[in-house]
Amino acid sequence: MTQTVAVLGTGKIGEALLSGMIRAGWRSADLLVTTRRSDRAEELRNRYGVEPVTNAEAAKRADTLILAVKPQDMGKLLDELAPHTASDRLVVSAAAGITTAFIEERLAAGTPVVRVMPNTPVLVDEGMSVISAGSHATPAHVAHTEEIFGGVGKTLRVPESQQDAATALSGSGPAYFYFLVEAMTDAGILLGLPRAQAHDLIVQAAIGAAVMLRDSGEHPVKLREAVTSPAGTTISAIRELENHGVRAALIAALEAARDRSRALASGNG
């Protein structure tokens, strides 16, 4: 049976997922999108050949509704969807903080809801999507969600109680690496390298390190030790990182992201 999937609130993450689904072989004809602005709707129609519809129409026509609005817009979207969403539709939410219970309470009794935390590398099929079932979602609903998000990267099932932590790690994670690259590029400039060269050097170092982390099976400590020669350059840098409390700063940063995800659960921001 052909499944129709609608992305509701097709902004940054919604478009990243949509583009990935098309690369993974979904037919544009089986995909619907909703937006708040008509110029954005036309942009998506022209770029992907998908049909922009209203939220109410998406609820009526799609088998699976992927909610990709900001947490603060979720209450309003669900109020709009509730009168049109039959309880046999699968509702998948990608919003940080919003619980499956928040969604279940606002839709028809028994509606299956799955919560997913993806990340922007779904744009390059290297996403990490963390998946939890709501109280009415069956293993088939979870498997269908995995099929959608698995086309654009890895998936992992976790209990919903771990979603806020996963949001802090993999949902926001790409931003931390971009921040580090930005800072290290500045350092390269301080050391006298042209900006473009500094950028290329650190990006390739990041890609090499990431591939080794993924493919070598080695613990990060072991990989770092292999770079750190006695009385060499690396240990001089590591001492400065420890002196400046970078490890503690990262732990505090991820804890703050986890807490912010929890606070978004109210849908009020």
Ligand X SMILES: NC(=O)C1=CN([C@@H]2O[C@H](COP(=O)(O)OP(=O)(O)OC[C@H]3O[C@@H](n4cnc5c(N)ncnc54)[C@H](OP(=O)(O)O)[C@@H]3O)[C@@H](O)[C@H]2O)C=CC1
Ligand Y SMILES: O=C(O)[C@@H]1CCC=N1
Distance in angstroms (rounded) separating the CA atoms of residues 31 and 22: 9
φ, ψ of residue 222 in degrees (nearest 5):
-65, -45
Interacting positions 31-90 with ligand X (CB under 6 A) = 34-37, 55, 68-71, 73, 76-77
Q: Binding to ligand X by residue 94, rule CB under 6 A? A: yes
Does position 152 interact with ligand X (CB under 6 A)? The reply is no
Kindly tell me which of 97 and 134 has the beta carbon lying closer to ligand Y.
97
Name residue 4's amino acid. T
Residue 111 binding: pick among ligand Y, ligand X, none (C-beta 5-8 Å cut-off by kind): none
Cβ at position 20, least distance to ligand Y in Å: 16
State how far the alpha carbon of 221 is from the alpha carbons of 54, 96, 177, 224, 227, in Å: 51, 31, 18, 5, 10
Shortest distance (Å) from residue 134 CB to ligand Y: 19
Q: Which two tokens stand for residue 231?
A: 């009385």
- Antiparallel, parallel or unpaired: β 31-34 and 51-52: parallel
Give the nearest residue (CB) to ligand X: 11
Binding partner of residue 94 among ligand Y, ligand X, none, CB cut-off 5 to 8 Å per kind = ligand X
What is the three-class DSSP state of 65? Answer: strand
Among 6, 7, 13, 114, interactor with ligand X by CB under 6 A: 13
Tokens representing residue 252 in the block: 């505090």
Contact set with ligand Y (CB under 6 A): 96, 167, 171-172
Residue 6 contact among ligand X, ligand Y, none, beta carbon within 5 to 8 Å by kind: none
Which is closer to ligand X, CB of 63 or CB of 73?
Answer: 73
Query: Using an 8 Å Cβ cutoff, are 89 and 39 in contact?
Result: no
Q: How many CB atoms lie within 10 A of CB 185?
A: 20
Give 34 or 172: the residue with its C-beta nearer to ligand Y.
Answer: 172
Query: Please, which residue, 119 or 132, has the CB nearer to ligand X?
Result: 119
* Residue of 6, 7, 9, 99 interacting with ligand X (CB under 6 A): 9
- Do 195 and 189 contact (CB within 8 A), yes or no? yes
Measured distance CA(162)–CA(57) in Å, rounded = 33
Footprint of ligand X (CB under 6 A): 8-9, 11-14, 34-37, 55, 68-71, 73, 76-77, 94-96, 117-120, 171
